[in-house]
A and B are shown apart, each in its own frame.
Chain A
């Protein structure tokens, strides 16, 4: 039955003869492991086609949807992370396999007559795969892909005569946008794969036409392709798949940075690792001042040209040796440049910025993902991020407030790193090896302090030199250039923050008003210094109740539960504030007081109070007479109302937090 069916099919298609000729290809010298690379490449291309088509079913190529759809695939679609991970990591292996294949062909002399044309097909295939990598890198529309691809497409500008026009055609206009994505996507999923298929068919046809070039010396007898070589090929493909899956499971799919933002710089924008050598090549001083075209186009073009000429050079015995030498020179050069690029990133003069940018991007990416999952995306993921106090409030604080204020001793943008248990651990994490390979590496310019203290942050470098013992808290943040001059606002309006404010020593420390004119004001001189210092235990208890009551005015989300539970104490505190301690001698509370000289305590630290203060600290509610240097951010239109609101929400920790840990894991 089966046989007659096969006979029927064979009679009409010749399938048996085709299978026979496919499987019983003669392999001179028998099967060898070094012949597996072509098969692994065919396999990876097959994997990319399959996963690519399935990804296509979830991807949307427009600047408002690309990141959003990729994020959906990665974090919300069942199995999407696996699908995307396989596609991404297989792409990472392809350049390696291409290189191994090319090396085998050159070393074994398989490019020689009559196989030149097939060799050129191979070179074209190599370039096509690189073009697929380049176009695919942009499609997630994250910061990394956006800025790195921008650099790549700006290089097109350097092409002589037609550069600017070519660039416009490639990116679909003068600016990156919808048409950049639609064009890149059509190239990535249509044009380039189509060309790839044609070339592979040609490549394999020509390969079968001329047969395999045996690696010298041929020590063994011939064998057929099936099953020994097929077995070796299959095992090699299995190894590739296992390695790919290893990476996929390790990072749970593939990395997705924060959404592309033309207004936000990204110091860590780099091309994918196999292009880093070209990236570094362009940094060589020779290619400055109008010579970029040599580094970007002419010299790489000549290198490809030389690779294409190898079949002719290889006709002479010495020429073949030269070819092999050139391949190793290219390999060594590219390897060295790649190392230099990476080395400069993690240990060069700007490495602190680079490493910080990587952390910032990861943090923002996770944040948008969490917001998108919890709230959905009304317009774009970028606008979701731009409206998020947690990330944007910090940015605005760093830009507008951190020249005087601090936030936990830093500028508000520090990324908290894992604690370092000991000095040795801190030293190891600062080392070059760790910075190359580890996710929790520490840059020596970043800051650390003994765990659990509120000491001033010191650079990791100085801690290492001082040989102080750990454990240490570590943050990714450079030391602010100017000394703090105004209060540290981390924990603003919380009970502890106000308790510390009412401590005379802390009040005049740099953490509060030590750097301002207020250290000589009545609050310190007449109240804290003269009275509070002499308080007995009962009075201290009253003062503490006032701190609790005042903090309740802020209605901080983080204190909602304790404020509710401590209602009696809060009422008591308000009574002390009004009747016993005499706060209202200088401050207004509950109703406007034209004689007040200190800030109004009604709604102290609440959203509205904070916004009003930032907009105009000289308002009669706050410091009409004695404002010390703080600009009226609203009145002078330095910040918009929305921006002031973001800062206030961020200071008050009044923003959405996902209930569980991060998404995706």
Chain B
């Protein structure tokens, strides 16, 4: 129900407009020229329209954006020291050339928790009988780096970065050397690697 005052004001306002009829074409807005109190009231109504309209439109966006930022929320990645058994010493070429090994571990993928699936790969090679591990992913933009036996080097097929066998940059755009990974020998022959990914593109090595 509208009160008497409102009726009067509306009548006053619309007096400048057309009478009852079809609005086939837009009409011009009525000139203000209203008493001060009525003008203030209409200003307040316009403000309320904008305010409430913005507020209620923001609700679905707010809920959406909030949940969209879910990946930034910290999640507990599970226990353990991060080391994964990759292979045994006997499987690494004795001649010092690198070989690629899959890293098989448990993996949480949103709602799934997979056990024993490939989560990445490492290059292992023996240096004076001691195994060294390099991440297989280029520190530039994350392409998979190939090993070229003929050239005895690592080569990123995306932007042509060239790495020496120890992982240092020979030629190319990569901001840092290939990422070395911590390695442990357990039970005499088991090769355990602390497998982790690093942010690409930076000269500093920052875990993801």
Contact = CB atoms under 8 A, between A and B. Distances in A.
A86 B63 CA distance: 8
Interface string B108-152: 101111110000000000000000000000000000000000000
A514 interface: no
A544 interface: no
B11 A234 contact: no
A91 to B, nearest CB: 13
Residue of A53, A54, A71, A208 with most partner-chain B CB within 10 A: A54
The bracket for how many chain B residues form the interface is: 35 or more
A69 to B, nearest CB: 6
Interface string A186-227: 000000000000000000000011111010001011111011
B24 A376 contact: no
B49 A231 contact: yes
Contacts of A376: 108, 111-113
A160 to B, nearest CB: 42
A30 to B, nearest CB: 5
B46 A223 contact: no
Contact of A223 (B14, B68, B111): B14
Interface string A220-253: 1111101110110011011001000100000000
B26 A214 contact: no
B3 interface: no
The bracket for how many chain A residues form the interface is: 35 or more
B32 interface: no
A24 B29 contact: yes
A82 B111 contact: no
B11 A220 contact: yes
Contacts of B26: 17, 20-21, 24-25
Nearest to B56: A241
Contact of B115 (A17, A31, A51, A378): A378
Contacts of B67: 54, 57-58, 73, 77-80, 82-83
B93 interface: no
Contacts of B61: 50
Nearest to B110: A72
A387 interface: no
Interface in A314-366: none
Interface in A9-36: 17, 20-21, 23-26, 28-31
A468 B113 CA distance: 52
B78 to A, nearest CB: 9
A211 B64 contact: no
Contact of B29 (A20, A72, A231, A241): A20
B70 A378 contact: no
B206 interface: no
Contacts of B112: 68, 376-378
B193 to A, nearest CB: 23
Contacts of B208: none
A372 B111 contact: yes
Nearest to B113: A376
A30 B14 contact: yes
B49 A230 contact: yes
Interface of A: 17, 20-21, 23-26, 28-31, 43, 46-47, 50-51, 53-54, 57-58, 65, 68-69, 71-73, 76-80, 82-83, 86, 208-212, 214, 218, 220-224, 226-228, 230-231, 234-235, 237-238, 241, 245, 372, 375-378
24 contacts: A20-B26, A25-B23, A30-B10, A50-B61, A57-B68, A71-B111, A72-B111, A76-B111, A78-B69, A78-B73, A79-B66, A86-B60, A211-B24, A221-B11, A221-B14, A221-B15, A223-B17, A227-B49, A234-B49, A234-B53, A238-B55, A241-B56, A372-B111, A376-B108
Interface of B: 7, 10-11, 13-15, 17-30, 42, 45-46, 48-49, 52-53, 55-57, 59-61, 63-70, 73, 108, 110-115
